[in-house]
Chains A and B, each alone.
Chain A
Amino acid sequence: MGTDMTLRSAFAAALMLVTALPVQAQLKVFACEPEWAALVQELVPDAQLTTATSHLQDPHYIEARPSLIAAVRRADIAVCTGASLEAGWLPMLLERASNPDIQSGRPGLFFAADHAQLHAPHDHVDRSMGDVHPEGNPHVHLSPDQLPEIARALARQLGDVDPEAAAAIQGRYIRWRGDWNRLRSEWRDRAEAIEGQSVVVQHSNYLYLLRWLGVDVAADLEPKPGLPPSASHLSGLLAEPGLADASAILVASYQDPQPAEWLAEQTGLPVIVVPGTVTGDASTETLGGLIGEIIGQLESVRSGATHGSL
C-alpha cells in the first residue's frame, strides 16, 4: 500500500511537471555565433542556448551537422549574423530542421546584419574577387556604434517571440545600453593613445572596430577575401610600403598562426592573437569585455613600440 501511495504521488508529481512545463518553458535560442549567444544571455539570462560555432571555428565554414539540425528543430528563435556569412550552412539547417517558426520573414529568425549599416557593400561582385559578400562586411559584432541598434532590434524580436517576457527583456536592454554607453566612452578615451597606429590583419574580422579606433590596416595576409594566405602573397607583402609603419600583426584565434608567425619572423612585428568573438574565459565572456581586451592588446604593442623593443 505504501508502494501504491508512492506511485500515486510520483504520478501526480510527473503530471504536475508535464502540465507546468509550457508555463515555465525557457526560451530556446539557437545562436549561429557566440557573440549573439552572449547578447541573448544579457537580454534573457535564463534562455536555453545552443551555439552553432565557437571562437576556435571559422564561421564561414561550418557543416550542417545532425546535432545543429536537431537544435534548430527545437528552438523558438535563431539569432544569426546574416549578410551571407552563414550562406554555406544556415539555409541547409533551416531546410532540414523544417521548423515552422524559424523561416525567413518570420519573427523566429533574426539577422543582425539587417539592423546595421554594413561597410563596403558591392553593386558588382564576382568570384574572382574572392569570397566577397555583396551585402558588405558581415563581421559587424565588433562595431561599438552599431551594436546598440542590433541589440535594440534583438530585444524587440525576442519580445515578439515571448510576449510575456517582453517587458523584462526591454528593461534588460535599457540596462545593457547604459553599460555599453559607459564602456564606449572609456574605449573612446583609450583610443586616443592608439589612433593612427596601423596593423597587418588576416581577413576583415576586426575591421569595424579598427575603423572606430582609427587604426589603419597596413596589409591583409589573405590574397583575396576568404582565400588562405599563400607563400607568394606573403613574400609579396614584404615589399608593401605600409609594412614599415605597422605596429603588429593581428589574427583571430581560429586562424592558422603560421602565416602570421612567418611574417613576424621576417619583419620583427609582434603577433597579436585575439579571439574573433566571445569565449568562455571571464575576460572575454561578453562583447564589451572582448572589445576591451582587443584595445588592451593594441595598447600593449603601442607601449612596446615606444620602448623600442621592435
Chain B
Amino acid sequence: MYSRVLPFWLAPLAVMAAVNVSANELNPDVSVTLDGYYKQNDTALSHRDQGFGLGHTELSLSAPVDDLFSARLTTVFEEHDGESEVLIEEAYLQTNGLPFALNVRAGRFLSQVGYLNGRHLHEDDFVERPAVYRALLGSHYYDTGARLNALLPTPFFWQVGAEAFAGDQLSEGEEDIGVFTVNTRLGGDISLSQSWQLGLSWLRNRHAKNADTGDGAHDHEEEEDHDHSHGAAYTGEDLYIADLVWKWSPNGNTRDQQLTLSGEYLYADEPNQFAASGDTNEGWYVSGVYQFAPQWSAGLRYGEVDLLEAHGDHFHSQTLEETEVALSWYRSHFSTVRLQYTHQEATGFSNADNTVMVQYVMSLGAHGSHGY
C-alpha cells in the first residue's frame, strides 16, 4: 500500500520543516509586569497610597519541567513607606494531563475561589480589586498548599476542585491546614456571540477564631494603616462566594468588540471569637466593561461592602460604597494605560474619598495566555 503513496512523498521531502532548536528554548519563559500609577487622594481599604507609586511589579519564570510537570515562580516587588519588599506570590508545580482529566497543583499559588481571585492583578480592568475583595481576601488570596481539580466529562463545562492551604496568608493561627476551599464552575456558550460562567466557592478559615481582635482602642487611623497586602483585614470562619460572568462579542470576534458583565457576592460569617450569630462581613460588586474598539475599553463598576471592625470583644460596623469609571487604552496586547475615577461613600472609614488615578501596566517578555 505504501508503494502507492511513495510518489507523493518525494515532493514534500524537499519542504521538510527546518526545525531550528536553539539553546534559548530550554530557558524558562521570563515575563515582567510593570505597574505604576498616580493617585490624587488616599482612599479607604486601598493598597495604593496617594501620589506616584509602583503597584504590582512582577517577575515571573515558567516552563514545562518534563512531560508531566510544569512550574512557575512569580515574585512581586512592593514598596510601602519607603521600604521595599519581595514577596513570593506563586511558586508551584502543576501536572499536565493526568488520567481522567485530573489536575494537581502544589506549592504557592492563587486560590481559585471566586472569579477574580485566581486571575493575576495585571489582567484586571480597574486599578484595584473591588472593595469586598480588598477587605475579605487582601485583594487576592494566595497561600502555600495543594489543589486537586477534576473536569467532568459532561457536554458543557463543569469543573470541581478542592484546595488545602497553610492559611497564614489569610490569618495567622496554629492549625497546619488553616484554610481549605471547595469550588465548582459551570459554563458554556449561549450562541456564537455569547458565553457565560457560573462559580460557587466555599472557603473555610480555621484560623478565623484566632483572628486579630484589635486592641480595643478607638483609634481608627492606626487600624487603617496596619496592613498593606499580606492577608485580609477582615475575616470569617466560612466565606461563601457566588460569581457570574457573561460575555458578548458580535460573531464571537473578541478582537473588535466585547462586552463583559460580571458580578460576585461574598459572605463571611463568624469574624472572630467574639462574634455573635448575626455578625457577618459581606459585600458584592457588579462590573460592566465594554471594549468598543480593538485598542479601547470603558468600564463601570459598583460595589458595596458591609464590615465589622474588631475592637477587642466588640465590633464597629463599617460600610463602603464604591463607584468606579475607567477608560483603558491598549497600544498593543502588551501595554495598557488607564484613567480611572473612584467615588467612595462610607461610614466608619475616616479616609474614604474620591480620587482620580492614572495607571500603566506594561508586560515585557513572554506573555502567558489569559483565562476566561
List the interface of chain A (C-beta within 8 A of B).
53-54, 56-58, 60-67, 69-70, 73-74, 87-92, 94-105, 113-117, 121, 127, 130-131, 145-146, 148-149, 152, 167, 170, 174, 177, 226-228, 254, 256
Contacts and interface: CB of A to CB of B under 8 A. Distances in A.
B11 A95 contact: no
A256 B256 contact: yes
Contact of A67 (B195, B253, B333, B371): B195
The majority secondary structure among interface residues of chain A is loop
Given A97-B101, A254-B253, A177 B8 contact: yes
A226 B333 CA distance: 9
A100 B98 contact: yes
Contacts, number: 159
B334 A127 contact: yes
B156 to A, nearest CB: 6
B53 interface: no
A228 B370 contact: no
Contact of A131 (B18, B196, B333): B333
B17 A226 contact: no
A182 B271 CA distance: 75
A62 B254 contact: yes
Nearest to B158: A70
A115 B14 CA distance: 11
B157 A103 contact: no
Contact of B151 (A60, A73, A90, A102): A73
A170 B1 CA distance: 9
B186 to A, nearest CB: 8
Interface of B: 1, 4-5, 8-9, 11-12, 15-20, 64, 67, 70, 94-99, 101-103, 149, 151, 153-159, 185-189, 192, 195-197, 247, 251-256, 293-295, 331-334, 367-372
B97 A99 contact: yes
B15 A149 contact: yes
B4 A98 contact: no
A137 B158 CA distance: 36
A308 B154 CA distance: 60
A73 B101 contact: yes
Nearest to B192: A54
Nearest to B150: A98
Contacts of B153: 73-74
A228 B294 contact: yes
10 contacts: A64-B371, A65-B187, A69-B157, A88-B333, A95-B96, A96-B159, A98-B96, A99-B97, A116-B15, A152-B8
Contacts of B97: 94, 98-103
A91 B368 contact: yes
Contact of B103 (A89, A98, A114, A152): A98
Given A56-B253, A70-B187, A100-B99, 16 more contacts: A54-B252, A65-B189, A65-B372, A66-B157, A66-B188, A67-B156, A67-B187, A67-B195, A73-B151, A89-B369, A95-B96, A98-B97, A152-B8, A167-B1, A227-B332, A256-B256
Contacts of B8: 148, 152, 174, 177
Please give me the 9 A-B residue pairs with the lowest Cβ-Cβ distance, nearest first. Answer: A66-B187, A66-B157, A100-B97, A149-B12, A56-B251, A92-B369, A58-B255, A70-B157, A61-B255
A63 B372 contact: yes
A130 B151 CA distance: 36
Nearest to A148: B12
B332 A95 contact: no
A62 B189 CA distance: 14
